[in-house]
């Protein structure tokens, strides 16, 4: 297969699935199979197609399933089921710039603040001590913590 031939196959199929309003599972399955076949044909520009579809988490996940990522890993934050914390962990790579990490940290901080604010009514008028409220917030942030 030629240098960019697979992009001319993949991109129209992905676009057609989007226009047909295919559900995420269908896009991920169909495109994942297509990516595998194109890779078997020596597709070497899959990152270009990935970049074209960064706005669609199901398509990004189909690429991730086949171990295709952008060099800066900014695609990881857009995968289905990847929360801000997981996206931040996936970005821990040497080639990730300081600015990209700062953006990811800020996004995670906003996520944590939003999570706490979403539950603030549970604390209003509470008779809990300030330390109990802090622990309550920490448990919202990290519900699966291990006690030491």
Which residues contact residue 26 at a Cβ distance below 8 angstroms, ignoring those fewer than 6 apart? 17
Tens of pLDDT, residue by residue over 1-12, are 555 688 999 999
pLDDT of residue 95: 64
Name the residue ranges covered by the structural domains of the chain.
1-96, 97-148
Phi, psi of 22 (to 5 degrees): -60, 145
Question: What is each CA distance from 131 to 116, 127, 134, in whole angstroms?
Answer: 15, 12, 5
Choice among 17-21, 39-43, 126-130 with the minimum mean pLDDT: 126-130
Condensed to tens digits (0 to 9), the pLDDT of residues 76-113 reads: 766 666 666 776 776 666 666 777 777 777 777 777 78
For residue 122, the model assigns a pLDDT of 72
pLDDT, tens digit (0-9, with 9 covering 90-100), for 23-69: 999 999 999 999 999 999 889 889 899 989 988 889 999 998 998 88
Q: In terms of C-beta density within 10 A (0-12 exposed, 13-18 middle, 19 or more buried), how is residue 147 classed?
A: exposed
Report field, pTM of the whole predicted structure over 0.85: no
Residue 27 confidence (pLDDT): 95
Mean pLDDT of 113-124: 76
Task: Decide: 53 and 12 in contact? Cβ < 8 Å.
Answer: no
């Amino acid at each position: 297969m030629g240098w960019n031939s697979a992009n001319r196959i993949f991109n129209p199929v992905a676009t057609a699935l989007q226009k047909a309003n295919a559900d995420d599972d269908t896009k991920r399955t169909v495109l994942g199979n297509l990516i595998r076949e194109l890779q078997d044909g020596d597709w070497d520009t899959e990152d270009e197609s990935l970049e074209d579809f960064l706005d669609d988490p199901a398509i990004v996940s189909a690429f991730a399933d086949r171990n295709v990522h952008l060099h800066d890993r900014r695609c990881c934050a857009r995968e289905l089921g990847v929360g801000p914390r997981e996206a931040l962990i996936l970005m821990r790579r040497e080639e990730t710039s300081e600015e990209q990490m700062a953006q990811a940290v800020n996004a995670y901080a906003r996520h944590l603040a939003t999570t706490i604010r979403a539950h603030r009514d549970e604390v209003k008028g509470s008779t809990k001590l300030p330390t109990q409220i802090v622990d309550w917030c920490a448990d919202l942030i990290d519900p699966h913590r291990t006690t030491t």
